Amino acid sequence: MMKSVNPATGEINQKYELHTEKGIIKIINSVDKCWHQWGKTSFFQRSQAMQNLATLLKSNKEKLARLMAMEMGKVLYEGVAEIEKCAWVCDYYAANAENFLENENIETDFSKSYVSYQPIGTILAVMPWNFPFWQVFRFAAPTIMAGNTAVLKHASNVPGCALALEDLFREAGFPENVFRSLLIKNNMVETVIKHQAVKGVSLTGSNPAGKSVASVAGSVLKKCVLELGGSDPYLILEDANLVSAAKTCATGRLLNAGQSCIGAKRFIVVEKVYAEFLENFTHEMMKAQFGDPCEPETTMGPLARMDLRDELHQQISASVKKGAEIVIGGEKPDRNGAYYPPTVVENVKPGMPAYDEELFGPVASVIRVKDEKEAVLVANDTVFGLGAAVFTQNVKRGEKIAETKLQAGCCFVNDFVKSDPRLPFGGIKESGFGRELSSHGIKEFMNIKTVVVK
């Protein structure tokens, strides 16, 4: 049995029957059978269905936002924005997939030589709860437009979202088995990966989950795309616009109650402007109104589960024991639900969880450094490499730091890190490998086939 629990109240929304192993095999075989036909359809046919899906998302955005609020605590306006972004990625690939996958002619000594992009089959997506629709569409829109089919193992706390996703594809006019959701526990993922019809795996989630899935996929020589954790550094240089930077940094930290792999996490501030930035930043963090995600005045909901809230608090407590100092927050509220207040921690040093680990919640680690050189060293002093940002009024300076000095897959200047269908998305080091979105992402699960005619 799988439960959907409202993190704001602790009440059970609904219970769902798990798929049996026999049921799982039946679904995968049906999806594989569908692929043999779907992969032969024209881009025009796929595009029509994908555009229908985008329209369907837009017309149901309030309903789907409420579902997210009830299952993982996202505030309604953020949920609406998430669904609108899902519609965007559907429209984007409906319009661009054919161009991205055109044959690429290459001049050689042969009379004809080119690269052709061919779908490879059914792809498994293992997806997290924090963006329960966007993470899936970020994978599914390009994968399905490319002619592959998909099965989804969603996070166990968002089963309602998982089934809603399956219904959306069907209602939009896709064949019944182009996209299917599997209601299974983590211990069944290995069975799915090893099924002969599954040709690749895309996972967004924690580092332990990524390593486990990559190990299984590697044992049967199946490709992975992994988007894992992050501890994104934001560099505040001495010439930054401190008012604007503080506001942007607070937004990047508090979005989705801080539960984002690319959320701003470590704020590395040169000492010349440290005090002023900290004051401005703390002020912006304190503006958050946390509470019931379904109430219009709420700007930050609860964390997705009580165990996640407790784990975050343990990380903060351990950091304080090692010398970190709490500026605001840092205490569990005396109320029902998985709530945690906006928290700012300073005097953060190596060896503390607030420095070394990913803090998945509304907690900001503020780190004082001497200058730009030390800021870059601290920014790169992490096992992660997903996103990073630099704030400076000298845009050329910021661009050079972003391009050549920061070790991350996505680097922004004077803004918080975000994904965009037009830009490749992914990380390096222990933040994973492979890319999603843009022309790069759609080719990850394709046979990049060389064709030569003498």
The two structure tokens encoding residue 409 = 């897959």
Alpha-carbon distances of 104 from 112, 217, 448, 449, 451, rounded to whole Å:
11, 29, 10, 10, 10
Q: Is 227 a catalytic residue?
A: yes
160: Cβ contacts below 8 Å, ≥ 6 apart: 4, 13, 14, 16, 67, 70, 71
11: Cβ contacts below 8 Å, ≥ 6 apart: 5
Q: Which of 90, 249, 261, 411 is the catalytic position?
A: 261
The two structure tokens encoding residue 50 = 């994908």
Q: Could you report how far apart the first and last alpha carbons of the chain are, in Å?
A: 59
385: Cβ contacts below 8 Å, ≥ 6 apart: 230, 407, 408, 409, 427, 428, 429, 430, 431
Question: Which among 339, 431, 433, 426 has a CA at the least distance from the CA of 135?
Answer: 426
C-beta separation of 305 from 270 below 8 A? no
For 18, other C-beta atoms within 10 Å of its C-beta total 16
The two structure tokens encoding residue 62 = 């309030």
Q: Residue 69 CA to chain centroid, in angstroms? A: 17
Q: Which of 71, 78, 166, 227 is the catalytic position?
A: 227
Handedness of CA 419, 84, 53, 13 (dihedral sign): positive
Beta partners for residue 266, in sequence order = 233, 365
Q: Residue 212 CA to chain centroid, in angstroms? A: 18
352: Cβ contacts below 8 Å, ≥ 6 apart: 318, 319, 322, 323, 324
Angstrom distance (rounded) from CA 438 to CA 100: 9
Angstrom distance (rounded) from CA 228 to CA 314: 21
Q: Is 71 a catalytic residue?
A: no
What does the chain come to in residues? 454
Q: Which residue has the tokens 């299984």?
A: 216
- Catalytically active residues are 227, 261
